[in-house]
Structure 1
Amino acid sequence: MLAAYFDDSGTHPDSPVVAFGGLLGTEEQWNVFETAWRALLENPLPGKPPLKQFHLAPLRAKRGEFEGYSLAERDRLNYLFRHVILDIGLVTFAVAVDRIAWNKLVVGPMVEEVAPPEALCFVKCVDSVLATCRFRKPGQPLVIVFDQGVRRQLEIWGRFYKSQREKYPEIAGIGFATVSEVLPLQGADLIATESYQFAQEWLKSPDGPKANPHFQDFIMRDLSGGVILTTEHIEEIIERWKSVSART
């Protein structure tokens, strides 16, 4: 059994970017991941109390459970958690949509008829995972889990994939779960948050975006894939919508 976990970042209406990030691994890899991740939660750093959850945004902002951490301690903890992912060799995925461009271009009747950027991220994530599984582990069943917070928006898209068993026979299930309770989703949170921040930098300066040093290892490795959907991609979606609308 293969399993992929995805979290989201920037899904609030005034966000400049919508991003999804996730991880794909085998059952054996996920067993190793959960053991290592839980050990870090229970003993994050010498002298620090156990953590209920790893959440990258509060760590960077020194909020919540990380309020008493110095900059050096937060940097060290970020390093330890990201290396759980890297050392196990999980495949990472990221999809981001320029929401500012989306809001400028998707207007009028399209707002109600074109799927929102969160759905576009969802579809890109599922399709990317399927393509990777078919290349690396053909024929193996796959379960995909997303953050519970986007269930209301995206559950219909999960049902769409599951309804087409002949086209997507690998998909054993698409579900939603709570990040605080499912450790792999906390790993996905790390990728989603980094991707959200990197996408904003990329949109400002496509020729020389500044990646957080902790994200650099993910960008440079062969087991990582990602896409940022910009004005050009959104215009293509609008043209397809116009073409379909003209025929109906």
Structure 2
Amino acid sequence: MSKLSRDISISALADLVHGAASRWKALALLQAYFDESGTHGSASIAAIAGYVADQATWSALEAEWRAAQPAYAPVFHMSPCISGHREYHGIPETERHDLIVRLSKILEAHPVRAIWSAVVIEDWENEAKDAAFLSKFPKPFDLCFRHIVWQLRNWSISHCNGEEIAPVFALNDEYQKRMSEVGAAIQAHPSYLNVLGGLSFYPPSKVVPLQTADFLAYEVCKHWDNHVYGPPITLANSGYRNVFVNATTGHQSGGCFADLGLKNAICQFKQTGSFFGESF
């Protein structure tokens, strides 16, 4: 099977998930790190992260991203690239580091908007006890996704005349059902009927730009894990912080719900019944 038949170009995907009348064909390519308890494995941070841009921007970035991948690892995976596992086994650390920095520079060079939302799991377990709050946000993912959608709507209004955005998630059987349920509930809200398109799920091996979401989601989790818990920064446990800066500088929105921020969010919801300035 040829490489062309295995992959779905970003332009073809945009045509597939957008209506014919759509001018901008904006896509949000997203990755989530969580499971049904709210975390992935022993992770301390649950997060959703990725990028949003129109079709033309994604197409230009896709070409550069493809060209940057080495023959031994044509599909980029952030975690094994940093740790030297799987397809990166035996590859010198300096070479792996150079690849990560080179990819971060590609992200920096294109007007893709980094969007992300994270929750510190320990703080969630300590603070998220209000029944009304939990009825709307039963798990950290629900809060992250609601925050992501709010950011997508703001980007749509600012950059593509309020046109519908199609969120595309990296495929993972562990949480696809949960995302579909939450996405359908949010899409039905009057504020999002004309902004949030239906969720799609594809493996990053088929939709190359989804690998950018894997890059960012990993870095968001490591960035906030280091910010909250302060482990020594090394390539093995945190990546390079300049990579996070490169990948988000000038084109980002997001936030982490931790300690005081999470307390304030819950307090706001209890007092007003709203979040992100909207009622439910």
Give the TM-score normalised by the residue count of structure 2.
Answer: 0.74
1:174 aligns with 2:199: yes
Paired with 2:253 and 2:156, the residues of 1 have a C-alpha distance of 13
Contact 2:49 2:116 in 1 (8 A): yes
Contact 2:105 2:247 in 1 (8 A): no
Alignment CA distance shift 1:109-1:129 (3 Å):
closer
Instruction: Give the one of 260, 263, 266 matched to 1:232.
Output: 260
Structure 1: stretches of 5+ with no match in the other structure: none
- Stretch deviating more after TM superposition (92-101 or 173-182): 173-182
Paired with 2:133 and 2:54, the residues of 1 have a C-alpha distance of 39
Alignment CA distance shift 1:241-1:15 (3 Å):
farther
Instruction: Give the one of 245, 248, 257 matched to 1:216.
Output: 245
- Stretch deviating more after TM superposition (101-110 or 7-16): 101-110
Paired with 2:129 and 2:29, the residues of 1 have a C-alpha distance of 32
**SS of residue in 2 equivalent to 1:196:** helix
After TM superposition, give the deviation of residue 151 of structure 1 in Å. 1.3
Specify the alignment match of 2:48 in structure 1: 20
Instruction: Give the one of 102, 110, 124 matched to 1:88.
Output: 110
Contact 1:162 1:174 in 2 (8 A): no
Instruction: Give the one of 194, 197, 200 matched to 2:219.
Output: 194
Specify the alignment match of 2:92 in structure 1: 70
Specify the alignment match of 2:164 in structure 1: 141
Specify the alignment match of 1:132 in structure 2: 155
1:53 aligns with 2:75: yes
**SS of residue in 1 equivalent to 2:194:** coil
> How many residue pairs align between the two structures?
233
Specify the alignment match of 2:123 in structure 1: 101
After TM superposition, give the deviation of residue 38 of structure 1 in Å. 2.1
Paired with 1:152 and 1:111, the residues of 2 have a C-alpha distance of 22
Specify the alignment match of 2:66 in structure 1: 38
Paired with 1:140 and 1:96, the residues of 2 have a C-alpha distance of 26
Structure ranking higher in helix proportion: 1
* CA RMSD after TM alignment: 2.6
Of all paired residues, the percent bearing the same amino acid is 19
Q: Which amino acid aligns with 1:145?
A: V
Paired with 2:205 and 2:146, the residues of 1 have a C-alpha distance of 24
Specify the alignment match of 1:4 in structure 2: 28
Alignment CA distance shift 1:13-1:64 (3 Å):
closer
After TM superposition, give the deviation of residue 64 of structure 1 in Å. 0.7
Specify the alignment match of 2:17 in structure 1: none
**SS of residue in 2 equivalent to 1:182:** coil
Structure 2: stretches of 5+ with no match in the other structure: 1-24, 231-237, 274-280
Alignment CA distance shift 1:117-1:90 (3 Å):
same
**SS of residue in 2 equivalent to 1:89:** coil
After superposition, what is the alpha-carbon deviation per residue over 1:41-93, rounded to whole angstroms, capped at 9, x for unaligned?
3xx2xxxx342410111111011111121111011111222222222221111
Instruction: Give the one of 137, 144, 148 matched to 1:121.
Output: 144
Give the TM-score normalised by the residue count of structure 1.
Answer: 0.83
Instruction: Give the one of 184, 187, 212 matched to 1:159.
Output: 184
Specify the alignment match of 2:3 in structure 1: none
Paired with 1:23 and 1:82, the residues of 2 have a C-alpha distance of 13
Alignment CA distance shift 1:112-1:125 (3 Å):
closer
